[in-house]
Structure 1
Amino acid sequence: MELDERRISAVIVRRFMDRLLDSMDLDVAIVGGGPAGLVAGHNLAREGFKVAMFERKLSLGGGMWGGGMMFNQIVVQEEGAQVLREFGVRVLDEGEGYYSADSVEAVSTLISSATRAGLRVFNCVTAEDVTMREDRVVGLVITWTPVEMAGLHVDPLAIRSRFVIDATGHDINVVRVVERKVPGKLMTPTGRAEGEKSLWSHRAEELTLENTREVFPGLYVAGMSANATFGGPRMGPIFGGMLLSGRKAAQLVSRALRGQGGRG
């Protein structure tokens, strides 16, 4: 059989468009494909909710891919190690409460597990805005990342979602959009995003989990986005708090969806 380039292209276009059309109305839209977003997406999809992830870069994994300064190893504490083990990632006990793992194995395993659980991933897609109804986030406005980078005047598309999780990390892209559109309305002490503080690994790990919560009706923050929103410090190349934050975000959103009579 001679391969037909048209057939190859047609299969790609049809499969992608089928998935995109089926993702126009979601239970949860996750913005950002780092460890917190992947764990949240995996857990929510596993529960039967309709979940899609929008990642502005071509690859997923966030800062976990590079470990510390491109030394592709990561460190987690005991609870984080347990999360990795649950996904089947090999973890080494380094003593005194420190555990290590290969960052490439960890990220690739999280991605595979999440997509196999039913998470739909749209990479190279930027969430440039949100849709709102009566002071509640009800979806995303998306465009191709290259379109955003080139500054082209191309209208975006809209995705409806019952809840949105900002897992974009330091930049808190979705939170910043909401902050600009409805100033002073965030559920923080000052009503605005506090911004992340300087590196303090121990405190950051604690606060990442504590700050994982709803920050505006319909919008939750997870991972480094949680600390950047509520003024916690950055944590550096230790990722247990990220993993636990993703798990907590999934639990909170799942509870909220079930309260609304969700699908899961």
Structure 2
Amino acid sequence: MHLEDVTISKAIITRYQEELLEALESDVAVVGGGPAGLVAAYYLARANKKVVLFERKLSIGGGMWGGGMMFNQIVVQDEALPLLKEFGVSYRTFEEGYYTSSSVETVAALTLGAVRAGARIFNLISVEDVMVRDNRITGLVINWTPVDLGRLHVDPLTVQSAYVIDCTGHDAQVASMVVKKMGAVLRTRTGNLEGEKPMWAARGETATVANTREIYPGLLVAGMAANAVCGGHRMGPIFGGMLLSGRRAARLILGEDEE
């Protein structure tokens, strides 16, 4: 077979354009492709919701990808073990209640699970603003990450969604935008962005799930973003809470869980 270079380019441009056009309107837009975002996307897509996920970096996986200090192993606890099993991730028992798995295998499994469930994932796309109608978040303003990094004056595009889930980790990027630009009162203890507390794995893991909630109409927080918004502790390279938080965010949107 004789390959034509231009045909290869046409194939990439055509298929990406088709995918992006489909992503302009969705049921749920997930911002951040870490463990919480991937799990939320999986459960929502499996429930026949139209889900798009935007990751600003080249790689998917967030903090899970690098394990702990670049030792590419992670830890989960008893409560989250069923999720590893659901995604087909191999694991080993370290001590009672502590289970380890490869961070690379886990990220790959979560990503494949979300994609096969029907979620569309776009990497190298940053969110620079939100859309608001009648005091509700109704979509996102997106641009290429290299445009943001290069501080180039390039106008963005918009995508519309019924719900947005902020899974941007420690930065809580979307929630921070809502507070900064709108002076929004959030569903937190003080109504403000409370900030992340120091490392305390036991407290942080529990809080990650408890803090997963709709903080403003149409906007939910999950994963480390939930703790950053609601004042929870960070927890380091134990990821059970992240997985459970993603599942809870999906269940809240689906009406299967109550806050």
Which residue is 2:147 aligned to? Answer: 147
Percent identity (aligned): 57
**TM-score (norm. length: structure 2):** 0.97
| Deviations 1:101-148, CA, capped at 9 Å, x for gaps | 111110001101111111101100001100000111000000000000
Deviation at 1:16, TM superposition (A): 0.4
Which residue is 1:185 aligned to? Answer: 185
Structure 2 CA distance for aligned equivalents of residues 126 and 160 of structure 1: 15
3-state SS of the aligned residue for 1:162? strand
Which residue is 1:103 aligned to? Answer: 103
8 Å contact kept, 1:74–1:103: yes
The answer to whether structure 1 residue 6 and structure 2 residue 6 are counterparts is yes
The answer to whether structure 1 residue 173 and structure 2 residue 169 are counterparts is no
Root mean square deviation, CA, Å: 0.9
Deviation at 1:190, TM superposition (A): 2.0
| Deviations 1:58-114, CA, capped at 9 Å, x for gaps | 110001011100000000101212111111001111122111111111000110111
8 Å contact kept, 1:201–1:235: yes
- Comparing 32-41 with 85-94, greater Cα deviation is found at 85-94
- Counterparts of 1:64-213 in structure 2 under 5 Å? 64-213=64-213
8 Å contact kept, 1:183–1:192: no
Structure 2 CA distance for aligned equivalents of residues 70 and 152 of structure 1: 32
Which residue is 1:30 aligned to? Answer: 30
8 Å contact kept, 1:167–1:222: yes
3-state SS of the aligned residue for 2:255? helix
Structure 2 residue runs of 5 or longer lacking an equivalent are none
Structure 1 residue runs of 5 or longer lacking an equivalent are 257-264
8 Å contact kept, 1:186–1:193: yes
3-state SS of the aligned residue for 1:29? strand
Structure 1 CA distance for aligned equivalents of residues 136 and 72 of structure 2: 40
| Deviations 1:17-54, CA, capped at 9 Å, x for gaps | 00100111100000000000000000100111100000
**Runs of 4+ that moved beyond 4 A:** none
Provide the aligned length of Structure 1 versus Structure 2: 256
The aligned amino acid for 1:197 is K
Which residue is 1:234 aligned to? Answer: 234
The aligned amino acid for 2:105 is E
**TM-score (norm. length: structure 1):** 0.95
